[in-house]
Amino acid sequence: MNAPIKKIVLPVAGLGTRFLPATKAIPKEMLPVLDRPLIQYAVEEALEAGIEDIILVTGRNKQVMEDHFDHAYELEKILQEKGKEEALEISRSMLLEEGRISYVRQMRPLGLGHAIWCARKLVNGHPFAVALPDDLIKGKPGALKQMVEAYNELGGNLVATMDVAKEDTSKYGVITPGARKGKNIEVKGLVEKPHPEDAPSTQAVVGRYILQPEVMAYLEEKAVGAGGEIQLTDAMAKLIGEQPFHALEFEGRRFDCGSKLGWLMANLSMAAEDPYLASKLKELITFQ
Ligand code: G1P
């Protein structure tokens, strides 16, 4: 039996420079897609997958996320007095039992690998999931649930992948694929942001992972990789051959909400599912 996945690390310390000035005073993870901030989508996806402990790796100016997952007493009191039950319920919907959300600070922006390493004491020797909240994935079931189901069968380490255009491989971690069984692909190698000419395949890693705790020892080495940063991809690559390592070509659509286009598309895609918003969108498009 594979040890169950009960913990998730959500790295949320990034500066969000591609969204300035919107992200000058608010974290990029609090940008809404329709009515919910990005961080909430990631937490909801984790809960759907049966994950219990949420670990946020934060940085300076990220405190507002703690408030988002806490009571807003003044607001709740006013809504209660006014009898606005529905709004009250929505404002309380993200209140997990105390102790289930933890926060740890990444004190220096040294890369994704370093951010994950900052959570090592909270991960505490258990296998764990990672989700990058910028990567919003619409899937039924959600991508993390698909990952947990695949992990229960395969064990070891797992990355979510999707096929991308060859010229786009330089934006992602890319796998060297081995044998494929349905949606599961054996991972023989991993490289971070290769030049398209050198990319070992077009299977690109998106921001969902299930990792064994041994990855922390490799992150501890603090080897500097692509872009001068401590890369999660490099530490994961060292596990290949030591532990099972697979990619799951997940089902669903991924939006890169760290970019304006991806964020806009995510909003439009969510709006298209709401009959009222969809009809208004159609009007807008037809009249222009
Ligand atoms: C990170 C990872 C990369 C992965 C990507 C998915 O890169 O380092 O391997 O493919 O997320 O979104 P970033 O986009 O943070 O540069």
What is 7-287's CATH topology?
Answer: Spore Coat Polysaccharide Biosynthesis Protein SpsA; Chain A (3.90.550)
pLDDT tens per residue, range 65-103: 999 999 999 999 999 999 999 999 999 999 999 999 999
Give Cα separations from 39 to 105, 121, 198, 236, 241 (angstroms): 16, 22, 34, 24, 34
- H/E stretch holding 186 reads strand 184-192
Q: How far is the CA of 77 from the centre of ligand 1 (A)?
A: 41
Nearest CA to ligand 1 atom 11: 207
Give Cα separations from 66 to 43, 75, 216, 286 (angstroms): 13, 16, 25, 42
pLDDT at 78: 97
Exposed / middle / buried, residue 245 (Cβ in 10 Å: 0-12, 13-18, 19+): buried
Q: What is the DSSP letter of 166?
A: G
pLDDT at 284: 87
pLDDT tens per residue, range 9-64: 999 999 889 999 999 999 999 999 999 999 999 999 999 999 999 999 999 889 99
> Distance (Å, rounded) from C-alpha 187 to C-alpha 189?
6
> Distance (Å, rounded) from C-alpha 40 to C-alpha 30?
8
- H/E stretch holding 262 reads helix 260-271
> Distance (Å, rounded) from C-alpha 97 to C-alpha 82?
26
Give Cα separations from 260 to 21, 139, 205 (angstroms): 12, 21, 20
246 pLDDT more than 90: yes
269 pLDDT more than 60: yes
Q: Which of 106, 110, 159, 205 to mutate to test the pocket of ligand 1 (most atoms within 8 A of CB)?
A: 205
Nearest CA to ligand 1 atom 6: 206
> Distance (Å, rounded) from C-alpha 238 to C-alpha 155?
17
Q: Write down the mean pLDDT value for the chain.
A: 96
288 pLDDT more than 70: no
Here the tokens at position 85 are 């039950």
User: For ligand 1, what atom is nearest to the CA of residue 258?
Assistant: 14
pLDDT, mean of residues 158-174? 98
Ligand 1 neighbours (beta carbon < 6 A) = 112, 132, 135, 172-173, 192, 204-207, 232-233
Q: pLDDT confidence of 1, banded at 50, 70, 90?
A: confident
How many Cβ atoms are within 10 Å of 218's Cβ, its own excluded?
Answer: 19
| pTM of structure | 0.96
3-state helix, strand, coil in the chain (%, to 5): 40, 25, 35
pLDDT, mean of residues 260-274? 96
Percentage of the chain beyond pLDDT 90 is 94
pLDDT tens per residue, range 194-241: 999 999 999 999 999 999 999 999 999 999 999 999 999 999 999 999
